[in-house]
Chains A and B, each alone.
Chain A
């Protein structure tokens, strides 16, 4: 019997022209949470898919409980004890919880009819694993919250009785509270002897939940460490291969936010936000924190004219705005960078240079006709200025990495020379290196006197970058914190509505 439940040795996986994995080792003990970290392109996903039977390794060996195995397919890996919970949920929204968990393995009675009673009972049993009684086995998956959908997804994987469960970015769409619940569930399963491979971009999560961590970089195995022996700076330096002292950067000491740029007074829209008031100064980065669904994105989009405001007033540079659509917002110097770059931000099929001009075609026209020369020149300029890693401005945006896509989007919005820029989850799914570059860019923009509203669910980011933090809860402004007084506990307390130090915070 081996000391490890899962051991991968010297895994090599090559795709035409590139080595995605080059002799990677991974050793997972029974009942531990083993974090797998690395920047985008480090090979985490390839390793995950190789362990999950989706890819076949070119070289290397995989052992389960000391026994050498090879997987024919994902299904084969499932049978041998390895299941993956993908980041993109793979549930059928129009079917019930029970049918999703037991997809294709529903208990049947005579004539192969589904035995609904037994199906629901078995589902209840599965749910009781997590002490959950608020999910109805017959409820449709589409009616559940994302967090509960994820519970179903994990239970679906659990129904194969896995020895090792691979979680790919499991918290990417969860709120703080839901995250705590997930971690509780992971600990429950851990105590039952199930091992986890935990893939995440959020390093603080690793310190919260993982026991061991393996770092990959550029397809190479870098190191393995006990989480209790290391700190975040150590991990970052191993991942990036160089030292980044503070990824959030520091505000330039000589510059202070200027006079008031934006004033939002009592804006409301039924069902979205209510009596929201706040202001943004020139050169100030205001963090808009809160749980998912607190109405932050709605407020951002409303200021940008992408969604209506039913009552209240918005002033920019002291003048009352009456913006009815996004075009007018851009004309007034307001930009909004969407939280979802793939579906709402970028034109994935188009080249970099054509993405960069999408919100200001007018600037590239001579007598109403587009000047290709100017479009290309702008593309080359922005690639240099924003350090976008690409062969050239003709490159299709869909082929870029997440960080580079985000930089293209940022460059597109910096392009309108905004007075106020609203950035919604500016570093979602972006790796550490690109993250710190984005923060530097945002700080530089603020230094030029632009007011920035940064909507983010990433608390360390909110705390590290904002000059001032506004916390929203259930559509209302629940509190405001200065940079100095803010800390993680205070923000969560206000966002979740816990009655601690209320006076101090508000």
Chain B
């Protein structure tokens, strides 16, 4: 059994069980739930955050963190929209948007890996920086009237399913395989597990860390383009609070802030779970104001259950070795 699977097996299994449970209960509780329109709406709703969560999982596995993704969504969407507004061809505008995203990632990554500023502080700063820049370049105005060929990116329906859902699903599958299996991405587990040891293991720690921020911001930029296209307009408030939603999903899915654990599938299920709960509460006619509360409770329960599982495992381990083991760890520090 693979170590990644082993580390996160408990959490993934748990979320999967809960997701299934909610689906079963809801299919009895509401006739509207297991209805393809509702399911598609649900998936469409979580597609944007899922696209970003793929990058965020990779980043958090390496021990990184990015608060700026919501602002990147708004900034790149606005930038691409402004380009089209002044007559730049759609494809070039999209590429410019993506390039800006990559540059922001490079900016974050460079400061974090090379200058050594804490990821939270750095990306908290760039979160304000790029939200601010969005407001500055757009003068606070939304940009509408985008070309229809651009709108097609996020509005087209393929095999009865909207494109954003396709993007999300493809990215989750590819991302999961890469992070689990590919040599390059697997290095992130080692960096997150013990950065100093990873350096001595011959892993190019700084380069990979920077690349992780680039990938995350690039996916955020892609999400920004898809979102702008779907709405048919660039909104200056797009993606507000998205970073927290994404990070919540990734953590529910088994990652930790320390790094070294987490999977893309887990993060995806984390976002499905949150969307399901929101959807269920709506269908059951619960006051909308409860939704945020329930998301918070879900996150807390997920990490508590995980923690308790780990404590229990440690007890079992101690049961086998007990004080002898304790003695070892004491003496071993010498």
Q: Are A346 and B194 in contact (CB under 8 A)?
A: yes
Q: Are A372 and B2 in contact (CB under 8 A)?
A: yes
Nearest residue, chain B, Cβ from A331: B202
Q: Are A20 and B334 in contact (CB under 8 A)?
A: no
Q: Are A41 and B190 in contact (CB under 8 A)?
A: no
B residues less than 8 Å from A327 (CB atoms): 202-204
Confirm or deny: A17 has a beta carbon within 8 angstroms of a beta carbon on chain B: yes
Confirm or deny: A344 has a beta carbon within 8 angstroms of a beta carbon on chain B: yes
Given known contacts A368-B183, A370-B183, A372-B2, is B322 in contact with A40 (CB within 8 Å)?
no
A residues less than 8 Å from B186 (CB atoms): 361, 370
Confirm or deny: B332 has a beta carbon within 8 angstroms of a beta carbon on chain A: yes
Q: Are A347 and B319 in contact (CB under 8 A)?
A: no
How many chain A residues touch the partner (CB < 8 A)?
Answer: 67
Residue in A14, A304, A342 whose beta carbon sits within 8 Å of that of B333 in the complex? A342
Q: Are B322 and A361 in contact (CB under 8 A)?
A: no
A14-51 with Cβ < 8 A to chain B? 14-21, 40-46
Nearest residue, chain B, Cβ from A330: B202
A415-435 with Cβ < 8 A to chain B? 428-431
Confirm or deny: B324 has a beta carbon within 8 angstroms of a beta carbon on chain A: yes
Report the bound CA distance from A347 to B203 in whole Å: 13
Report the bound CA distance from A362 to B186 in whole Å: 11
Given known contacts A15-B326, A46-B326, A338-B197, is B333 in contact with A172 (CB within 8 Å)?
yes
Nearest residue, chain B, Cβ from A216: B327
Report the bound CA distance from A13 to B327 in whole Å: 12
Which of the four size classes fits the interface of chain B? 35 or more
A65-96 with Cβ < 8 A to chain B? 87-88
Q: Are B197 and A369 in contact (CB under 8 A)?
A: no
Nearest residue, chain B, Cβ from A340: B196
Given known contacts A351-B6, A368-B184, is B193 in contact with A15 (CB within 8 Å)?
no
0 or 1 for each of B311-323: is its CB under 8 Å from A? (1 = yes): 0000101111111
Confirm or deny: B189 has a beta carbon within 8 angstroms of a beta carbon on chain A: yes
Report the bound CA distance from A372 to B182 in whole Å: 11
Given known contacts A343-B194, A358-B190, is B319 in contact with A17 (CB within 8 Å)?
yes
B254 to chain A, nearest CB (A): 13
Given known contacts A16-B319, A350-B3, is B327 in contact with A44 (CB within 8 Å)?
yes
B residues less than 8 Å from A369 (CB atoms): 177, 181-183
Report the bound CA distance from A42 to B324 in whole Å: 7
Given known contacts A370-B183, A429-B334, is B327 in contact with A343 (CB within 8 Å)?
no
Confirm or deny: B199 has a beta carbon within 8 angstroms of a beta carbon on chain A: yes
Confirm or deny: A159 has a beta carbon within 8 angstroms of a beta carbon on chain B: no
Report the bound CA distance from A306 to B204 in whole Å: 11
> CB within 8 Å of B: which residues of A?
13-21, 40-46, 87-88, 168-169, 172, 201, 219, 304, 306, 325-327, 329-331, 336, 338, 342-351, 353-354, 358-362, 364-365, 368-370, 372, 394, 399-402, 405, 412, 428-431
> CB within 8 Å of A: which residues of B?
1-3, 6-7, 177, 181-184, 186-187, 189-190, 193-194, 196-204, 260-261, 315, 317-334
Supply 10 further A-B pairs (C-beta < 8 A) apart from A18-B320, A360-B202: A41-B324, A42-B327, A326-B202, A342-B333, A345-B197, A347-B190, A369-B183, A399-B321, A428-B334, A431-B331
